Amino acid sequence: MLPFSCTRKRCPSCEARRRVEWADHVVENVLPDLAYRQLVFTVPRVLRHSFVRERSLLGEFVRTAYDVTREFMVAQFPGVVGGVPYFVGVFETWGSVVNVHPHVHALCSEGILDREKTFHALPADCDWSALEELFRHALLALLVARERLAETTRAMFLSWRHSGFGVDASSGAAAGDREGLHRLACYLHKPVLSLGRMDYAPGASKVLYHGKNDAAHGYGTVAYDPLEFMALVLAHVPEPHEVRVRYYGAASSTIRRGGRKGRLAKNAGGAGNVGGDESPAGPAAPGEAEENAYVKARRRTWAQLLARVYGVDALKCWRCGKRMKIIAFLTDPEVVEEILRHTGKWGAKRERGPPEQPHGGAGAAPHERHVVVDEYAQESDNEARDAGEAWGTPEPEQRECDWEA
pLDDT tens per residue, the chain (405 residues)?
666 667 666 677 778 778 888 898 899 889 999 999 999 999 999 999 889 888 889 999 999 999 999 999 999 998 888 899 999 999 999 988 888 899 999 999 999 999 888 999 999 889 999 999 999 999 999 999 999 999 999 999 999 888 889 999 999 999 999 999 999 999 998 888 888 888 887 778 888 888 877 666 656 788 899 888 988 888 888 888 888 899 999 999 888 877 544 443 333 334 444 544 343 444 443 334 444 565 565 566 677 777 776 677 878 888 888 888 888 888 898 998 898 899 888 876 555 444 444 444 443 333 333 333 334 333 434 444 443 444 444 444 444 444 444
Long-range (24+ apart) CB contacts under 8 A made by 352-356 are: 352/12, 352/13, 352/195, 353/13, 353/16, 354/306, 354/310, 354/312, 356/196
Q: Is 395 left (phi over 0), alpha (psi -120 to 50) or beta?
A: beta
Ranges of each domain in the chain: 12-192+238-297, 196-235+367-405, 305-343
Among candidates 243, 258, 252, 330, which has minimal Cα distance to 288? Answer: 258
